[in-house]
Amino acid sequence: MKDYSIPRSSIPLIKIVLMTIFMGDFTLAVSFLLIIFIRETLQLDTTYALLYWLIFILKTTLVLVYVGSTMKKWLEQTYMVMNNKLIIYTKSATSTTTSSNLKDIQSVRVIQDSLGKKFDYGDITIELSKAAYKEQVELIGVSNPKTVARSLEKAMK
């Protein structure tokens, strides 16, 4: 099998950034409406408004942690096929390289949402069967995932 680097798409990053902006604006708007509702309609003390601000800050923090971890994983990993091996190179504080024989691939599954189908990107889940255990590897944000999956399926035969 020919050696190649598995292409990545930048659209998942754009999607995550847009989701973050939308969720932040939406959460902020809902928080403002709740504060106005509490003050004007229910005639409650403003401490309830502070409680809702704390909830807003917590929700925003959780969204940012999720987005940050997803972006970090997407940015740090590089996928390659070399010498009949699938190689995943992770760039972080301690760089790691994971390799698996293409013959160990048991199944390949492509996961695309509607945006991924439109712009031809998606995630590929590969199930590997090594000597004593099974392992799943996820390739995130791959361009042309169906083509890549077909070439991996060919290599496993």
Q: What's the whole-number mean pLDDT along residues 126-137?
A: 82
pLDDT score, position 155: 77
**pLDDT surpassing 70 at residue 111:** yes
For residues 34 and 117, the model is more confident at 117
- Residue 23, phi-psi category: left (phi > 0), alpha (psi -120 to 50), beta (remainder): alpha
For residues 15 and 128, the model is more confident at 128
**3 phi/psi in degrees, rounded to 5:** -80, 140
Residue found by looking up tokens 């403002």 in the block: 32
Query: Residue 117 to residues 11, 13, 75, 146: CA-CA distances in angstroms?
Result: 12, 16, 21, 10
**pLDDT surpassing 80 at residue 151:** yes
For residues 131 and 153, the model is more confident at 153
Domain ranges of the chain: 7-77+100-157
Rg (CA), the chain: 22
pLDDT score, position 146: 93
42-88 pLDDT per residue, tens: 666 666 667 767 777 877 787 778 777 777 777 778 888 888 888 88
